[in-house]
A and B are shown apart, each in its own frame.
Chain A
Amino acid sequence: MSMNKQGRPTGTGTSDFASTSGSALLPNEPLLFEIGDTEHSGVDLPDAEINTARLGGFERKMPLDLAGLTEPEAMRHYVRLSRLNHSIDSGMYPLGSCTMKHNPRLNEKMARLPGFADIHPLQPVSTVQGALELMNQLSHWLMTLTNTSAVALTPKAGAHGELLGMMTIKAAQQAAGQGHRTIVLVPESAHGTNPATAAFLGYSVKSIPARADGTVDVQAVKDALSPEVAAIMLTNPNTCGLFEPQVIEIAQAVHGAGAFFYCDGANFNAIMGVVRPGDLGIDAMHINLHKTFSTPHGGGGPGAGPVVLSAALAPFAPVPFVRQGSDGLELVEHTEGEALGRITAFQGQMGMYVRALTYMLSHGGDGLAQAAEDAVLNANYIKARLGHVFSVPFPDYPTMHEALFDDSFLAGTGVTTLDFAKALIDEGFHPMTMYFPLVVHGAMLVEPTESESKQTLDHFCDVMEELALDAKAGNAARFTAAPLHAPRRRLDETRAARAPILKWERPEDLPQAAE
């Protein structure tokens, strides 16, 4: 039996190694509802006498049926669950386009200062001057790094930022009597949120094909432009990991046609402190604080997606925003006229603002530029080390923050991109992003970020190379059976979607099985 680099068996030949559930430190954990009951509680509260006179007859009659756990039971339940997750802190997480970088714990400590965590969004502004000053400082950093003249902090995630940016463009065009512009250009390599956002706002989406080299052709953009085009949504660096070499010409062409340039800033980590998007001609760009500025991903949020805006769009920014008043900082919560209003209750993701500013101050302008350069260095290093075994679809340019491979190196092996990714799990790594972007076949998008040491990168490359050679050597079973060493084997997603089970039911409440 072959061994992997952690000394674990990798073969599938013996059933002794086929099961992972017996791992001593990873016991199966029952559901909360299978452990607790409605009497147990981990919180001591007095039982208050109440008079129901002011409840208007609307008291609860339906049982809550919520299981409770005492504190030690809860601690064990959630600690055990946590151990079933891969995380950045436990291993490399090279998920392309997601920027899984180190999350400094100073950020967490600062976000929990009572002066930030224990303040209410509707306190008198005289009692939250430090919070408004923090929003001002964060805004200054974001505008400086992008060379733009305004920023809307409130979007709650990247997709929410996209929505806001495109709403701002729509509001500006309607104010200018340009409401007839109903088409948004989206390169086919774009993330799915781009066309979804445009469609959400009632635009029709026109796809721009990618060139053979993975970048957008300025001529294709020019050919698609017309008086009906409202905007282009362009990701730069793009989802293939490439900086768009003709981005300035594209911006000029878009502006020449009276349209706006929305830049998807998901990949800002590659260029922060090195290239300012405002110098490239963008009008709006969201910045994922949870990617570029290290606020934790938290298992899928909360994110934060502030949007920087050009001078042309700044008057249409949403409320609330901070302004210097005669008597300290003011929070502008209402606007009149053509501005688009409010896209969330309150002030947005303050907890993420604190973390992001902490990260910025820790790095400084110099450290952010160094981080971007290291992120690009790391991705190019992976591409250089693996390029001779893996297939590189777009070799013409250096890559930026992520290395893209396609699956042509697996041709004839019986191993798919999915299989390859699952085999990487057995080697202790989180897989790369699979099958995205859609413009290359069987895409594998590897984003190491600046946080990985050379030693880790070398280990990752050694493993990737060994896997690729093993696939080519005909050992498909290792891949198609993987993962063998994770808390679960492959899960049946078809079954989950066909007859969805979305909550726990008491066994006695379930219909009797047909079999």
Chain B
Amino acid sequence: MRYLPHSAAERAEMLGVIGAANIDALFSAVPANALKSFDLGLPAHSPEFLVEAHMKALAGQNHAGADGPFFIGAGAYRHHVPATVDHLIQRSEFLTAYTPYQPEISQGTLQMLFEFQTQVAKLTGMDVANASMYDGSTGTAEAVLMARRLTRRNKVVLSGGLHPHYRDVVKAYLKDDSDLECLSASPEGQGDILDHIDEETAAIVVQTPDFYGHLRNIRAAADAAHAKGALLIVVITEVVSLGLLEAPGALGADIVVAEGQSIGNALNFGGPYLGLLATRKEFIRQMPGRVCGETVDAEGQRGFVLTLSTREQHIRREKATSNICTNSGLCALAFSIHMALLGEAGFTRLARLNHANACKLADALEAVPGVEVLNRTFFNEMTIRTSTPAAALIERLAQRGILGGVPVSRLEPGDPGVANLIVLAATELTTEGDIAALCAALSEELA
């Protein structure tokens, strides 16, 4: 077995040092009827080439993004990741290190996290950011709980433009909570959240660009929330949009949560991703998750440590701000390296390219009979209404080798009003040929 160093002789020698007759003697605390009392019926160990063949056969049954025109977004986006990013995150010292509990021999990870926190703070326009959450959806649920702790109020209102999965995660985290108000889906970009804020409201949650691609008025939401003493949580699922759109921190956001996958991380069928969470300086002691801070060592040299751990479960146990233990370290590293490679100049160009391609997509879709683009505003994503039900249409496009977006009914099955809606995204990888292929196929299917 290639991963196990001991020979049979070494095992016997070690048992001798221990003074155990055999290996089973070391399991003497296990009730006898539970120890090796079964036949697992699992296959035996396997050479590397056979494992590889097995996995490649599974992978081969999937239609990869590069296999044809691709327009799926809806919370996860297909962007190009530079080769340098993937090389660097596979450096042994990053890949196979643990949480930096011993800072003297973890400065690589810690300095990276400090740089990551700085990047996230700058992107969002907020004072501080943590060292990442599991993903955007769980980060949103944690932000809602954080807002409740900060305001000591309970009512939370979720915009109808919030990603339905995010809404569902918040609902699961706040199970049976009558103080959670989820506004109905707003595919036209209509907003009524401002009418739902009152003196009981802890926070409102507004996504921009929203699930349907519309850009939301964050300043107006912040002003309305603050007028009642509530907090504004801004959710962003496409972080590239921040290269072109105003930072939520400049518009009055109190907590910003984003899905960071777009930068540095592949689609991976949904994970691993990373959540970004940023807030105001005065709120840091109610912020969930790991945080890295600057300090000095015994010789006065700058160094970094995990800090503010008195918020966390390993110190506070049942009084912790969250039960979260890990962050999404390696995904945060990928994000940070990709962002460092982009820099402000590259990140801005990336955002402009995404928007330019989305404009081309919108213009082309508007010319297809039977297709109506619902968005007046968007970044790189939009919603269309088609003359036939969307789910079957997307399936027929897939049979043509085109992944043409997400039928909204897949996420909102109980809402007949969305049956003919599709959410589509364009990125820097979208070509004019892809757009032409999609529109030609749509024209034929809708004829």
Contact = CB atoms under 8 A, between A and B. Distances in A.
A212 to B, nearest CB: 15
Contacts of B176: 174
B43 A364 contact: yes
5 contacts: A68-B340, A89-B96, A130-B61, A302-B134, A346-B75
Contact of B359 (A54, A117, A398): A54
Interface string A30-73: 01110011111111011111110011101111111111110100
Contacts of B314: 191-193, 436
Contact of A128 (B51, B62, B250, B312): B62
Given A41-B343, A64-B347, A115-B64, 18 more contacts: A31-B111, A55-B244, A62-B249, A68-B342, A68-B347, A81-B107, A119-B269, A130-B58, A275-B34, A279-B38, A298-B333, A300-B131, A301-B328, A380-B20, A381-B17, A397-B28, A453-B5, A454-B5
A123 B72 contact: yes
Given A60-B246, A298-B329, A299-B97, A344 B61 contact: no
B423 to A, nearest CB: 9
Interface in B324-354: 324-331, 333, 336-337, 339-350, 352-353
Given A74-B341, A118-B64, A64 B122 contact: yes
B135 interface: yes
B410 A333 contact: yes
A84 B304 CA distance: 12
Contact of A66 (B40, B298, B333, B343): B343
B293 A496 contact: yes
B191 to A, nearest CB: 12
A55 B51 contact: no
Contact of A362 (B14, B51, B298): B51
B42 A365 contact: yes
A361 B43 CA distance: 8
A86 B78 contact: no
Contacts of A42: 82, 84, 340-343, 346
B293 A502 contact: yes
Given A64-B347, A318-B172, A496-B294, A398 B355 contact: no
Contact of A363 (B3, B131, B137): B3
B315 A192 contact: yes
B310 A497 contact: yes
B55 A113 contact: yes
Interface stretch (B225-233, B373-381, B432-440): B373-381
Given A41-B341, A504-B118, A55 B104 contact: no
Given A300-B131, A345-B137, A398-B26, A118 B243 contact: no
Interface in B114-141: 114-115, 117-119, 121-123, 125, 128-129, 131-132, 134-138
B395 A124 contact: yes
A32 B338 CA distance: 12
B111 A29 contact: yes
A178 to B, nearest CB: 14
A243 B29 contact: yes
Given A89-B93, A361-B46, A451 B14 contact: no
Interface stretch (A367-375, A404-412, A470-478): A367-375
Contacts of A103: 95-96
B195 interface: no
Closest 3 CB pairs of A and B: A68-B343, A115-B59, A346-B270
Contact of B323 (A93, A159, A248): A159
Interface stretch (A3-11, A163-171, A218-226, A255-263): A163-171
A431 interface: yes
A347 B333 contact: no
A450 interface: yes
Interface string B305-328: 101111011111111101111111
B231 to A, nearest CB: 20
A43 B346 contact: yes
B245 A58 contact: yes
B444 interface: no
B108 interface: yes
Interface string A429-452: 011010010000000000000111
B344 A65 contact: yes
Contacts of B107: 81, 84-85, 487-488
B267 interface: yes
B313 A196 contact: yes
B319 to A, nearest CB: 7
Given A65-B122, A147-B38, A300-B98, A157 B342 contact: no
